[in-house]
């Protein structure tokens, strides 16, 4: 019997796997859960507040969750998911693809970044890197395309698709996702 849907944890480094009452094809509900994690990120003018879930789509288990700035440094939600999952398996993040389930997918409220102004590796690079041994993340579900606020046109979708990662837009929550993502940004007239 699946466990009830787990809300965001008040313990940022909590990395417990959990089953959900969400059916495996209910992508809007997974996106709503990812959005609940985005709310955990503090609003700043220099970041989007993003939530993400790393899911084994074969077993319908959430492997880990993440949100912007959850971990030390200028961390993004997808990066936090991959870093926490790698840490759980005592391997460097660069090797996380070796331990990901065959049908791993990631849900992220905002399209993964293709460029980091901080100099960190982009989330697109991290996702593509999981594929280096033939496994890794096969599908990325996104709530909205990345706004052009910080890096202009995001070519991440093309890079992901060229690497064999399917990108699927999950519609219906765009306004709420953008409201949460841009909280803390200074309005320009």
Q: What is the CATH number of the domain that holds 130?
A: 3.40.140.10
| Three-state SS annotation for 100-145 | CCCCEEEEEEECCCCCCCCCCCCHHHHHHHCCCCCCCCCEEEEEEC
Confirm whether 78 is a catalytic residue. yes
Say if 119 falls within a structural domain: yes
Mean pLDDT (whole number) for 92-102: 94
Say if 83 falls within a structural domain: yes
Identify the band that residue 114 occupies on the pLDDT scale cut at 50, 70 and 90.
confident
Residue 148: the pLDDT is 60
How many independent structural domains does the chain possess?
1
Residue 17: the pLDDT is 58
Say if 9 falls within a structural domain: no
Identify the band that residue 149 occupies on the pLDDT scale cut at 50, 70 and 90.
low
123, pLDDT greater than 70: yes
Smallest CA-to-CA distance from 80 within 34, 44, 46, 114 is with: 34
Residue 76: the pLDDT is 92
185, pLDDT greater than 60: yes
Catalytic residue among 40, 78, 129, 146: 78
Residue 134: the pLDDT is 75
Say if 165 falls within a structural domain: yes
Say if 187 falls within a structural domain: no
Say if 23 falls within a structural domain: yes
Residue 177: the pLDDT is 95
Share of the chain above pLDDT 70, in %: 82
Say if 100 falls within a structural domain: yes
Model confidence, pTM: 0.87
Mean pLDDT (whole number) for 30-56: 94
Q: Domain span at residue 117?
A: 18-181
Say if 5 falls within a structural domain: no
Distance CA 73, CA 59 (A): 32
Smallest CA-to-CA distance from 19 within 85, 80, 63, 84 is with: 63
Give CB contacts under 8 A, 24+ apart, made by 10-15.
12/40, 12/70, 12/71, 13/71, 13/84, 15/64, 15/84, 15/85, 15/87, 15/88
Residue 117: the pLDDT is 67
142, pLDDT greater than 60: yes
């Amino acid at each position: 019997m699946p466990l009830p849907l787990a809300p965001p944890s008040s313990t940022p480094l909590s990395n417990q796997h959990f089953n959900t009452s969400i059916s495996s094809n209910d992508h809007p509900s997974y996106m709503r859960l990812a959005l609940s994690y985005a709310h955990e990120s503090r609003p700043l003018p220099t970041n989007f507040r993003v939530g993400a879930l790393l899911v084994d789509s074969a077993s319908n288990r959430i492997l880990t969750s993440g949100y912007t700035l959850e971990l030390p440094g200028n961390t993004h939600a997808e990066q936090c998911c991959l870093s926490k999952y790698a840490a759980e398996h005592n391997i460097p993040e660069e090797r996380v693809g070796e331990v990901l389930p065959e049908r791993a997918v990631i849900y992220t409220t905002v399209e993964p970044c293709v460029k980091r102004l901080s100099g960190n590796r982009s989330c697109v690079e991290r996702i593509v890197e999981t594929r280096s041994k033939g496994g890794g993340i096969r599908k990325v579900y996104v709530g909205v395309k990345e706004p052009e606020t910080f890096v202009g046109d995001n070519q991440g979708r093309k890079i992901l698709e060229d690497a064999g990662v399917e990108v699927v837009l999950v519609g219906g929550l765009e306004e709420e996702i953008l409201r949460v993502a841009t909280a803390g940004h200074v309005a320009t007239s």
